[in-house]
A and B are shown apart, each in its own frame.
Chain A
Amino acid sequence: MTDLARHAPAEADDIARQRFMESTGNRRFWRFWRDFLTQRPLGTAGAVLIILMLLAAAFAGLIAPYEKAVEINFADLLLPPSPDHILGTDHLGRDVFVRIVYGSRTALLVGFTASFVGCTLGLVLGVVGAYFGGRADQLIQRLMDVLISFPLIVIAIAVVAALGTGEDKIGNVIAAITVPIIPRVARVVRSSALSIVNMPYIEATRSVGSGAVRIMFRHVVPNVFAPYLIMLTAFLAQAILLEASLSFLGLGVFEPTPSWGLMLRGAGTQFLEQAPWIAIAPGVAISLAVFGFNLFGDSLRDALDPRLRTA
């Protein structure tokens, strides 16, 4: 928390908003990221981890064909790390490194979709509630209150249980992770949007005849975009963690799909003494991914909104 932020919250608010609005201009966009990369080493480290993960997901095919990650190979059971299998093999003879590389696809697919859909629905609900106020707002708020009273993983488990789990039910896993994100985003967005909807320029836009939808999307949404982006990265980390937890519990992604959480299930605990490498490598992958998104999100928040506390 900077001194500036403590003594002059209003100015800090303007600076943050201005800074972000500036960043949407094309040349200023690059300047924002140049400053970000030069002034925020931790955020840059996070960005590097994220880019590594994206590269792994995109070019997994260059490292090994997908069959290597899923095909059972009884000739190579539980091999320790060696030049052939740099992270060893698991109890079904599959290369742990290849499975981790392909696992990044699962983590990113689930993490990004759940976080994007959840945050966007939360954004819409928050902005609509703040703009219309009154009974609609009350209704949305109460619904969000109830949704938020469920601990994250509990509601995810409930949704998975209701929708069913199975080999190709990855959509259900995504849905289960999306649901608990919505109310948390809606709350934050609503409180930011509330201060916007009463600004004179909104009144001005209305007086020249803009409709509610136009005002909300052209004038309110851009102004709450900073918290939206921050939450998007924060919940990406959460979603990856949640996917790993659900898969670990046997309620997420199913075999043979490579998933980091799934790799820690069963084999990770069953062959712990015999083959500790199966239990270590996927955990490192999860931690680095979550770590990367956390670092990046934190720095993004500091850069966009200096008023917020770092917790």
Chain B
Amino acid sequence: MRRYIVGRLLLMIPTLVGVAILTFVIMRAVPGDIVALKYAGSPVPQSVIDEERQLLGLDKPLWEQFVVWMGDIARFDLGTSLWTGNSVVDEIQVRFPLSLELAFLATLLAIAIALPLGVLAAVRQDSWVDYAIRVFSIGGLAMPSFWIGILMILTTLTLWGWAPPLVFTPFTEDPVANLAQLILPAIAVGYRYSAVSMRMTRSTVLEVLREDYVRTARAKGLRETVVVMRHALRNALLPVVTVISLEFAFLIGGLVVTEQVFNLNGIGKLLVDAVAHRDYTLIQAIVLLLAAVFVLINFLVDMVYVVLDPRIRYS
């Protein structure tokens, strides 16, 4: 097992290198360079353009730029933001806790919605409860999370004249103010995130409920709750966990748009602002970071499999 973990961790390196190469290629493969693009149509003297090119190292040959960039990444030096002039690492560090907490809350909410409702829909298959839950989950798939966010703000505004606070308070300082700000965005992201997992829970539980061991468990006279919770759900969890990890991409997507709706100063908003300001160092760094997080999550999920299903032994 330890060898497997080490092996998987080592395998992540080529993927991450690939991610870095691709990020580099996407940002550089455009006709004309990014500085020309940034100042397209604005009367900026050539000297400024040349200066910025030099700052970015764009005057060097492409392979040299790449080697330098990779070397910097290896030393966790992601460069200086063109827009704010601060170190990119600092810019990201300030925003990271908020996005992380939002992601955590949304995942928690998604699981808290998806598992019970999915199981309930399966147990009451083809009843009105089942249909209601399925419509609810399809709604989550169809409604964009930023629109859900807008609707929630609209509702709280008209009903109670209340809108979430705009200033971020760390959880450790004032948990209530912190949650007041983050709970609505977490629901907006979590609802969408829960939809697919809910449908997956329903179909795998349905499948497992027809297994022989479930019939045996019932024949033994176990209470239905025990049968469903201990025998069915536990065995149905594996595909659900897979879906949760696959849907993690949606979580990140949800973060990007929801932070915009609720005006939260997180990584997603930073990315959008960076694009708006044509701050290519910052864009590159955030894209790289989010992809790296995604790769890491997938690895962690594979580890969760082992906990959930003792039959799985990686070697």
Task: Write the residues of chain A forming the contact surface with B, with a CB cutoff of 8 angstroms.
Answer: 1, 3, 6, 142-143, 145-147, 149-155, 157-165, 237, 241, 244-245, 248-251, 261, 264, 268-269, 272-273, 276, 279-280, 283, 286-288, 290-291, 294-295, 309-311
Task: List A contacts of B248 (CB < 8 A).
Answer: 151
Query: B154, A272: Cβ atoms under 8 Å?
Result: yes
Q: Which of B261-315 contact A (CB under 8 A)?
A: 261, 271-272, 274-276, 278, 280, 283, 286-287, 290-291, 294-295, 298
Task: List B contacts of A244 (CB < 8 A).
Answer: 144
Task: List A contacts of B139 (CB < 8 A).
Answer: 287, 291
CA distance A244 to B261 in the complex (A): 14
The secondary-structure label for the interface of chain A is helix
A-binding segment of B92-100, B104-112, B200-208, B217-225: B200-208
Select which of A3, A154, A311 is within 8 A of B287 by beta carbon.
A154
CA distance A161 to B158 in the complex (A): 37
Residue B129 is within 8 A (CB to CB) of chain A in the complex: no
Task: List A contacts of B15 (CB < 8 A).
Answer: 145-146, 149
Residue in A closest to B256 when the chains form the complex, CB atoms: A153
What's the nearest-Cβ distance from chain B to residue A303, in Å? 17
Residue B9 is within 8 A (CB to CB) of chain A in the complex: no
Residue in B closest to A179 when the chains form the complex, CB atoms: B26
Task: List A contacts of B150 (CB < 8 A).
Answer: 264, 268-269, 272, 279, 283
Query: A249, B256: Cβ atoms under 8 Å?
Result: yes
Residue in A closest to B295 when the chains form the complex, CB atoms: A149
Q: Which of B11-49 contact A (CB under 8 A)?
A: 14-15, 18-19, 21-23, 26-27, 29-30, 34, 37, 40
Task: List B contacts of A163 (CB < 8 A).
Answer: 30
Task: List A contacts of B206 (CB < 8 A).
Answer: 1
CA distance A161 to B34 in the complex (A): 9
CA distance A213 to B276 in the complex (A): 45
Select which of A153, A158, A245, A250 is within 8 A of B23 by beta carbon.
A158
Residue in B closest to A261 when the chains form the complex, CB atoms: B144
Query: A150, B287: Cβ atoms under 8 Å?
Result: yes
Chain B: interface residue count, which band? 35 or more
CA distance A249 to B261 in the complex (A): 9
With contacts A151-B252, A245-B146, A264-B146 known, is A157 near B275, CB below 8 A?
yes
Query: B252, A311: Cβ atoms under 8 Å?
Result: no
Query: B146, A151: Cβ atoms under 8 Å?
Result: no
Contacts A161-B283, A248-B146 known; list 10 others, CB within 8 Å.
Answer: A150-B22, A150-B287, A160-B275, A161-B275, A164-B40, A250-B272, A261-B144, A276-B154, A287-B139, A294-B141
Select which of A245, A248, A272, A286 is within 8 A of B153 by beta carbon.
A272
Task: List B contacts of A158 (CB < 8 A).
Answer: 23, 26-27, 283, 287
Query: B252, A154: Cβ atoms under 8 Å?
Result: yes
Sorted nearest first, the 5 A-B pairs with minimum C-beta distance are A146-B18, A283-B147, A153-B253, A291-B142, A151-B249
Residue in A closest to B243 when the chains form the complex, CB atoms: A311
Query: A283, B27: Cβ atoms under 8 Å?
Result: no
Query: B253, A151: Cβ atoms under 8 Å?
Result: yes
Residue B55 is within 8 A (CB to CB) of chain A in the complex: no
Query: B157, A273: Cβ atoms under 8 Å?
Result: yes
Task: Jot down 16 A-B pairs with beta carbons below 8 A, ordered by A.
Answer: A142-B18, A145-B18, A151-B248, A159-B26, A161-B280, A164-B37, A245-B144, A245-B253, A248-B257, A248-B260, A269-B261, A272-B153, A272-B154, A272-B157, A279-B147, A283-B144
With contacts A151-B249, A164-B37, A250-B276 known, is A294 near B256, CB below 8 A?
no
Residue B199 is within 8 A (CB to CB) of chain A in the complex: yes
